[in-house]
Amino acid sequence: KPPQCLDIPADLPLCHTVGYKRMRLPNLLEHESLAEVKQQASSWLPLLAKRCHSDTQVFLCSLFAPVCLDRPIYPCRSLCEAVRAGCAPLMEAYGFPWPEMLHCHKFPLDNDLCIAVQFGHLPATAPPVTKICAQCEMEHSADGLMEQMCSSDFVVKMRIKEIKIENGDRKLIGAQKKKKLLKPGPLKRKDTKRLVLHMKNGAGCPCPQLDGLSGSFLVMGRKVDGQLLLMAVYRWDKKNKEMKFAVKFMFSYPCSLYYPFFYGAAEPH
């Protein structure tokens, strides 16, 4: 059937503010219905909130909600590569590879008939070292903490014996004693006996809460290919009411319906 054009609805927040009003269906990811577009697009909202590249929205929406013209216009390969350079390291830190559907070789080389880089002629170099490691950005509200717990496979209160640097990652090595599994998830006995958490791409960025290793830590993570990836880390603070509340009511919190790609609520706050 011929493609149809429709208004980008307000409940497609990934693309509602992209700068044009009408989109075509099926889109360039072969989604046939608006319901499918909304469902698939929602898991990318947290990436948008992380602001890893100024053209993330333009790039994603060129595929999810392509502009309504008589023929499809794909993103240029250079746009894909620019967004990938900014965002793939962040995704990898959370254990998500750059997905197959966004492989840049699929997109046309730059010519007049593709969507080029709009806002960010950003150099595709590593961000300055002053930027805090993604895993060390902290949520300060109980809701934010519980969202993080939702998107983690496991949550543990533990002491950290030492930190090692290996292949650009930091490795947090747990002390044998005094660990409490608040949400064991997929952790097996051998995982917990000697807890080793990998902080992907974490060797070169600051993480203030790990500057000293005394006391206990609240850590959250995912198990990916047998490795335990650190997703978030906090100093355990008995006086922190938000933290106490989040830990106590973690299992009664209504986790987001969509599977969050990353943490953080969908909206930047």
Give residue-wise pLDDT tens across range 4-37.
999 999 999 999 999 999 999 999 999 999 999 9
Predicted pLDDT at 151: 83
Confidence of residue 268 (pLDDT cuts 50, 70, 90): very low
Q: Of 67, 59, 128, which Cα lies nearest the Cα of 98? A: 59
**Does residue 257 carry a pLDDT above 70?**
no
Contact 98, 91 (CB under 8 A): yes
Contact 267, 49 (CB under 8 A): yes
Contact 87, 60 (CB under 8 A): no
Give residue-wise pLDDT tens across range 38-88.
988 988 988 888 888 999 999 999 999 999 998 899 999 999 999 999 999
Confidence of residue 262 (pLDDT cuts 50, 70, 90): low
Q: Give the architecture (CATH level 2) of 134-252.
A: Beta Barrel (2.40)
Domain extents in the chain: 4-115, 134-252
Q: Of 257, 148, 127, which Cα lies nearest the Cα of 205? A: 127
What is d(CA 264, CA 269) in angstroms, rounded to the nearest whole number?
Answer: 9
Contact 115, 83 (CB under 8 A): no
Predicted pLDDT at 265: 34
Give residue-wise pLDDT tens across range 94-103.
888 899 889 9
Report how far apart the first and last C-alpha atoms of the chain are (Å, whole number).
Answer: 42
67: β partners: 23
What is d(CA 248, CA 251) in angstroms, rounded to the nearest whole number?
Answer: 8
Give residue-wise pLDDT tens across range 164-204.
999 999 999 999 888 999 999 999 988 988 899 999 989 88
Give residue-wise pLDDT tens across range 117-151.
887 655 444 444 457 888 998 888 898 899 889 88
Q: Give the architecture (CATH level 2) of 4-115.
A: Orthogonal Bundle (1.10)
Cis peptide before 26 (omega within 30 of 0): yes
**Does residue 155 carry a pLDDT above 80?**
yes
